[in-house]
Amino acid sequence: MSTTPPRMNAAEAAYRTIRAKIVSGELAEGERLTEKRLSKDLGLSRTPIREAVGRLILEGFVERQSGYTTRV
């Protein structure tokens, strides 16, 4: 049996990184988030970014406004 922890998938890595930036204040309250910008900043495709943002919405860290705009 291996004692090596399992690798984190891209969506989990994106979630943890974005959440840490929100908690630290690097992403300010009211700041607009776009999948395109987050994808570029994190070096990930938009699919894991979308999954991470969905999870952050459910947890109340970000909110979706008008169906398309997402803000911290």
Tokens representing 33 are: 């988030």
Q: Read off the amino acid at residue 44.
A: L
Residue 64 lies in a domain: yes
Residue 54 lies in a domain: yes
CB 32 within 8 A of CB 69: yes
Cα–Cα dist 31/41, whole Å: 15
Residues 6+ apart with CB under 8 A from 71: 30, 31, 32, 33, 62, 63, 65
Owning domain of residue 27? 10-71
**DSSP category for residue 26:** S
Average pLDDT over the chain reads 91
Q: Band of the pLDDT at 47, cuts 50, 70, 90?
A: very high
Domain of 29: which CATH number? 1.10.10.10
Residue 48 lies in a domain: yes
Residue 5 lies in a domain: no
Tokens representing 68 are: 């398309």
Residue 15 has pLDDT above 60, yes or no: yes
Split into its structural domains, the chain has a count of 1
